[in-house]
Every structure is written in structure tokens, then in C-alpha cells.
Structure 1
Amino acid sequence: MGPNWSKQTERRKAVNSERKKLQKLKEECGCDYPGCDIHPTDRKNWMSGLDPAKLHINKIVWPGTHDSATDKIGIMGITRPFAQCQSLSIYKQLVHGARVLDIRVEKNGKVCHGVINTYAINVVIDDVKKFLSETESEIVILEIRTEFGRKDPPSFEKFLLENLGELLIYQDDSLFEKTIAEILPKRVICVWKPRDSPEVKPGGPFWSSGYLKDNWINTDLPMTKFESNLKYLSEQEPVDTRKYFYRVENTVTPCPDNPIVYVKTVTNRIHGYGRTGDCSYRNVF
């Protein structure tokens, strides 16, 4: 009991120390960056407001959400706090401006986070289609992956094609140099990442895992995650030559060796610093 209590005390000290470092960095470097002065009055149509004929895909910073379809996951007050990363529906997230969705599925076609399931993938698809039917020039990156430790849904590519076919933007490296206007009326970049099935074929309606990259580290320490994000981002190709999307996730993860395992409690350690700039990296991007 004694050694374990001491370990947890040290962990709490480390968390508090890292939050103070992030706060100091925010105060010293601020939150200014190119484009930070743009505040769309209509978040539902922010791409339209930036002129689709001039807005190139590789010039967009795509706002997105982590474990996007977890607003109703698990049992309220019992299992939900361990798995809920979002409180808004997919439709409401899109209306508020999100354009990248992170969806995890399992063999029965249910959305999940770890071992906890929620509604069927059809709910996500319907929300995306509803949003697109109400807008004209908004593009959505829909990443769907089989959750770690789970099995792929059977015939899933067929299901996606039947439900999104007319909206799908086919895999094509030249996309990154195009404007939104050149892509329309197609609206969805669907990245499908199965675990058991073969990767999707080049040139087809779905994009393979190599087109949406990230460097996830499993930590609940906010400054450690922040520095990792900057390090890996600085190692990516310049956007002018990059033929893939690169994701930076402003979130930390509950760890099993820490008694605080509620998602919201842990993630709040870093959420307030999503726009913070590191002075030492200002000329990297």
C-alpha cells in the first residue's frame, strides 16, 4: 500500500508540474499563428465562406474530433465516463465546424471505444448525409477504423459504398493540389482502416491508412503530449509536397497505473492549450 500510494503521489506532482509548464508557455508565446484572426460567423459553412475556388485542400487546417461518435456510449453514470470523448452528436459536431471524424467500429457494425459499444454505424452515416444535404461546399474526412482488439464488420466496404457512393471522393494523390471547387460535387474523403481485411486498393472509392497519419503516444501527461505533437509535426514533409493528411491530437489518455481514469477529467489537462505556440518551433511549420 505504501509504495503504491507514493507512486500515485509522484504522478499527481508530475501532472501538476506539466500543466504549469504549459500555462507558462502559453503566457510567453501566446496563441497567435497565421489565420488565427479568422473567426467564421457561420461555422456550419466555414469552407464556403473561404471561397471554394481558391481554397486548396493542402492549405486547410482541418478541425476534427477524437473518438467522435461516443456521445451516447455505454451506460450513463456507470460505463460512459470511461469511454465518452464527445458530448455532441456527429451532426452537431459538423454544424459547429468539425470536418474530420474519428469513428471506431467492431464486427457487428456498432461504433465502439475499447470494449464499450454504442449505436450502429448507420447513425454516423445518416448524420453525415444530413449535414451534407444542408450545405453546398463543405468537405468531410470520415475516418473509419476497426477498433484495436476487435474484428472487422463483414462486407463493410460494400456497405459504405451503398450508403455513401455518390458522395465519395476517390483516392487520388492529385487531390491535395486541387481546390474545393474542383472536387465538388463529391464531398466525403472516406479513410477505411480494417484490421483483418486487406487494405483498400489504390484509385478506389476509399483511402488507405497511409493517407491519414499520426504519431499517437499513450500518456496522461499534458506537456509530454504537447512536446511529442510538436516533434512529430516538425518531422513531416512540407504541406506543398505532402500527399497525406497528418493529424495532431490535442488529447491525453487515461493510463491504468493512475487512479484517475475518467476521459473528460484527464483530457481537460491539455484542452485549454490547443492553440498554444512553442517559441522554439515558430519557424518550423
Structure 2
Amino acid sequence: MSIIENLTSDRANWMSRLSDSLSLRDLSIPGTHDSGTECVAKGIAHCQNHSILKQLEEGVRFLDVRLKKDGGTLKVVHGIVDCKIDFKKVLEWCLNFLETNPRETILMCVKNDGDANIAQLFLDHVNDSKYKSLFLQTNKVPTLGDARGKIVFFRRFNSGDIEDYKEFGINWIVGWKDNTVFDINTDQGDKFTVEDCYNESNTNKKLDVVKKTLGKSLNDSARMFVTFCSIASGYGRLINTPYRYAWGGGTVDPAVNPKVYEYIAYRGYNKRFGIVIADFYNDEGADNYLVDSIIRSNFKAPSNDTIEDKGIYQILCKCSLKHIDINGRKKEDNVEAVIWTPYDAESQQFSFEHVDKDTYRIVAVHSGKCLEPTGSKNRDKVVQKAISNSDNQLWLLEEKEEGWLALKSKTSGLYLDVNNGNKHNGNSMVVYEANGTDAQRFNLHRFKVVTNTNNSVNASKAVTVKSK
């Protein structure tokens, strides 16, 4: 078993829990589009809300870096827009991150967004004594073990006749196509499928091609899939910025990132989605659930055999892909359990206290109170109540398809259910007879236990999973 000790802080070292023998081709890897645009003014060229260092600390492992030659400097740019940092700053951030987290790796795609060739100047930066050991010297997709502590370089610029590039960098410049889905097959035998339909302003059509590419990644282990979820603003569409395409606003409906999250989270653990690249990966810093869902897909789901006594979990509802929450974060008895968009709060964390074979009390971390049905009839609500010895507070966990679980009340035999399968925030949790629907299917995201002296449970936000 492999434990991510604290997902909020240990997003920085999630790769360390995976086997050295895995190829990077075997992984689901969160990435950012135009990664260096944090300091760009809000608008059509602004694609990220955090620095590259913070992106890495929050679990991102693929960086899309656009450069322009400016004398002896390589500036980070987005088209004609100066991003107000240079490439040495990017390298400094990467070096600091990998020195702190030596079992991680960074995949870095570099594109020339200027007129002058950058090939020699890029090598001059890479061969600087400070950064010379930072890049993995390879032209093939490596194993994770070989890549740990290094940057794996993907080249999207013309190298000219410079000999060094024959053995350095995975060549994406040959075969890259514009605004479509395409394959790249390198001379070294690596095969890629890339979706980069950046000029599709109809988000329904964009999502169709994104989902199709993600779906193919689940079934074709011979290829590495690269999915750009981003949309460019472009002339004539200036009302809609990259942020709006990602998270909604203006005339955008549906927003892309929540739908990508739903597609990935619905498929649960132990899946392979390739490199998934987004603008504004965490909705202006409010949450990180898109990146978290990509990370979790690399691991196996908790089961009755692996659920830890008093382990702390978030409970994901399959029908809504939202978490069970205690309404309003209140701590009093008889407050309803509801569904809510995932976010970092103790009212969305529950301790599973083992009582008997496959039987648990489910205790809300923020209040120290148990989930309990208010009755034994269909659609009776589920609330929190002070811990007692009542069997009415006991739940049996039944393993279902692909890591999903059902939770059955011991006293009534009714199942925990999202009322009517409605997906809106604040919808009640109820009990209902078995119906086999997604409203009665749940996934557990495990957290580390810390017990207070007042007998309530505190959490340090972590996930426990099985590595492949």
C-alpha cells in the first residue's frame, strides 16, 4: 500500500508513491497550458493564476513553456505578450522543486513563440553549470525511475544542425499540426496522440473531442496521449477569456474544466489518462479538485480490505461527483448531510470507525458526530448526531463495480442515497431501498488520522491508496 501523507501539501510528491518501473506513458499527469502567464494582465493572454513553482507544489507535472529570444536572454512569452519572467527563473523554480522533491519529475514542453531561432541559446541555458544536471539526457520517453529528480524535455522548436539535439529532447516539432487531433511517431519509437483544438470556441464541441481523446487513452497503452483542455480567446471572441472557457462566465456554457473533472472522477481510480493540460487548473485558487482527480487515477481505490480503522476520508458521490458535506459546516445534532462541490474543509471529511466485519461508524471530522438516518423509510434524511451505541449509527460497506462502494444502514437495510439523484449543491442525503443507481455509489478518498484530546477527530488532508 502506498500513502500520500497529506494531499494538500503532499501534492508536491505524489509521484514518489509510484513504481520506478512505470513508463511515463503509463501515467495520468496533470499539466498547464502557457504555464508562465501568472503575471500577465487578466484577459486573453492570461492562462494561469499561480507561479510555475506553486503549480509544481500543487501537483502539476507537465509545463508548457513559450520562449522568445531577446538578445542573450530567453523571455517567457505568450505569443506577443511578455510574461515578465525569463527562462532562468523557470529553471530556478524547477531546480528548487526537484531538490526538495527528488523523487518527482517534470515534463517540460518548450515552444519558440518568437521570430529568432532559440536553439543555441536554449542549449546555453541548459548547459550552464547550475542547471546542467537538471535535464535528463534522453530523446525517448523514460521510466519514472530514470526520470526522478530530472526535467524530461519535449522540443517544439527547430534545432537546425546542432548535434546536441540528436540525443537530447523528445522531438515534437516534426509532426505537430495546428488546431486538430494528430499523431506523432518519433524515430526512437515513441508514439503520441495530441488533441490541441484550441480554436474551438463551442465548448460542447471542444469537450466532445477532449473526452474522445481521454477515452482512447484508457484503451491504447502503446501511445502517450496529450490532451489540451484549453481554448484560445482569438479575434472575434474577446468577450470570452481563457478563464471563462475554463470555469464559465460571459457566453460560455458549459465550462470546460468542471466537465473534464467529471469525466475523470466518474471513472474512479486506477485509470490512465495521459497528460491532461488545463488553463486555470484550480479556479483562481479556490480548490484543486481537477488536478487531484488526475493524480488519484494513478492509484487503486480503498476497499474493505484496505480501509483503515479511524481513517479519514472524503466521500465522493458518483451521480454528482460532489462530496458529502455537513450542511453549513454546523456542529449541532440533527444537521443534514448534503452534497457539495469538493473543497478543503473538515465538514467534507469523515472518520470510518471499524465496529465489526465491513461495519463502520461514519464520524464527521469537524463535529465529532455520526451520520445517522432519521428513520427507516425511503427518503428519510441522514443527519449528524452525537456518538451513541445505537446500531442506527452503523453502516455496512458493500464493494461494487470498479472500486465504487454502497453504504447500507445496519438497522433498516436501506442504502445511503443522493435524494432523487439530483446533482445540485445542498441536495439532501437520504436512505432508500437498493436500486443499483449512481445515486447509491460512492468512492472514498483517504485522509490521515490525528486524534484530539477532546475525542473529536482532526485531519491533515491526505489520501491513502494502492500503487499499481
Give TM-score scaled by structure 2 length. 0.44
Letter of the structure 2 residue corresponding to residue 276 of structure 1? E
Q: Partner of 2:204 in structure 1?
A: 223
Report deviation, 1:60. 0.9
Q: State yes or no: 1:191 paired with 2:157.
A: no
SS of 1:128's partner is helix
Calculate percent identity across the aligned residue pairs.
20
Q: Partner of 1:61 in structure 2?
A: 28
**161 and 233 in structure 1: CA distance in 2 versus 1, 3 angstrom threshold:** farther
Once residues 143 and 124 of structure 1 are traced to their aligned partners in structure 2, the CA distance between those partners, rounded to angstroms, is: 12
Q: Partner of 1:141 in structure 2?
A: 107
Query: Quick check: 2:76–2:82 contact (8 Å CA) kept in 1?
Result: yes
Query: Quick check: 1:58–1:239 contact (8 Å CA) kept in 2?
Result: no
Once residues 162 and 211 of structure 2 are traced to their aligned partners in structure 1, the CA distance between those partners, rounded to angstroms, is: 29
Report deviation, 1:259. 4.1
Q: State yes or no: 1:43 paired with 2:11.
A: yes
Once residues 116 and 227 of structure 2 are traced to their aligned partners in structure 1, the CA distance between those partners, rounded to angstroms, is: 26
Correspondence list, 1:1-285, <5 A: 40=7, 42-48=10-16, 50-53=17-20, 55-73=22-40, 76=41, 80-108=42-70, 109-118=74-83, 119-147=85-113, 150-153=115-118, 154-162=120-128, 164-173=131-140, 175=142, 178=143, 180-181=144-145, 183=146, 186-195=149-158, 197=160, 204-209=167-172, 210=184, 214-217=194-197, 218-233=199-214, 239-242=220-223, 245-268=224-247, 269-277=255-263
**120 and 259 in structure 1: CA distance in 2 versus 1, 3 angstrom threshold:** closer
Once residues 127 and 229 of structure 1 are traced to their aligned partners in structure 2, the CA distance between those partners, rounded to angstroms, is: 30
Query: Quick check: 1:250–1:271 contact (8 Å CA) kept in 2?
Result: yes
**136 and 266 in structure 1: CA distance in 2 versus 1, 3 angstrom threshold:** same
**84 and 45 in structure 1: CA distance in 2 versus 1, 3 angstrom threshold:** same
**52 and 194 in structure 1: CA distance in 2 versus 1, 3 angstrom threshold:** same
Question: As a proportion of its length, which structure holds more helix?
Answer: 1
Give TM-score scaled by structure 1 length. 0.70
Letter of the structure 1 residue corresponding to residue 86 of structure 2? A
Report deviation, 1:196. 7.2
SS of 1:63's partner is strand
SS of 1:133's partner is helix
**72 and 246 in structure 1: CA distance in 2 versus 1, 3 angstrom threshold:** same
Q: Partner of 2:312 in structure 1?
A: none
Q: How many equivalent residue pairs?
A: 233
What root-mean-square deviation, in Å, do the aligned CA atoms of Structure 1 and Structure 2 show? 3.3
Letter of the structure 1 residue corresponding to residue 239 of structure 2? I
Structure showing greater relative contact order (alpha-carbon pairs closer than 8 Å, 6 or more residues apart): 1
Once residues 204 and 138 of structure 1 are traced to their aligned partners in structure 2, the CA distance between those partners, rounded to angstroms, is: 22
Letter of the structure 2 residue corresponding to residue 44 of structure 1? A
**264 and 158 in structure 1: CA distance in 2 versus 1, 3 angstrom threshold:** same
**194 and 274 in structure 1: CA distance in 2 versus 1, 3 angstrom threshold:** same
Once residues 272 and 95 of structure 2 are traced to their aligned partners in structure 1, the CA distance between those partners, rounded to angstroms, is: 38
Once residues 57 and 123 of structure 1 are traced to their aligned partners in structure 2, the CA distance between those partners, rounded to angstroms, is: 26
Once residues 128 and 203 of structure 1 are traced to their aligned partners in structure 2, the CA distance between those partners, rounded to angstroms, is: 24
Q: Deviations over 1:163-198 (max 9, x none)?
A: 5321222325472xx3x23x1555110112214746
Query: Quick check: 1:52–1:137 contact (8 Å CA) kept in 2?
Result: no
Report deviation, 1:87. 1.1
Letter of the structure 2 residue corresponding to residue 63 of structure 1? P
**203 and 91 in structure 1: CA distance in 2 versus 1, 3 angstrom threshold:** same
Query: Quick check: 1:70–1:113 contact (8 Å CA) kept in 2?
Result: yes
Query: Quick check: 1:250–1:270 contact (8 Å CA) kept in 2?
Result: yes
Once residues 101 and 107 of structure 2 are traced to their aligned partners in structure 1, the CA distance between those partners, rounded to angstroms, is: 15
Once residues 261 and 124 of structure 1 are traced to their aligned partners in structure 2, the CA distance between those partners, rounded to angstroms, is: 28
SS of 2:208's partner is helix
SS of 1:123's partner is helix
Query: Quick check: 1:151–1:196 contact (8 Å CA) kept in 2?
Result: no
Query: Quick check: 1:59–1:239 contact (8 Å CA) kept in 2?
Result: no
Structure 2 gaps of 5+ residues are: 173-183, 185-189, 248-254, 274-468
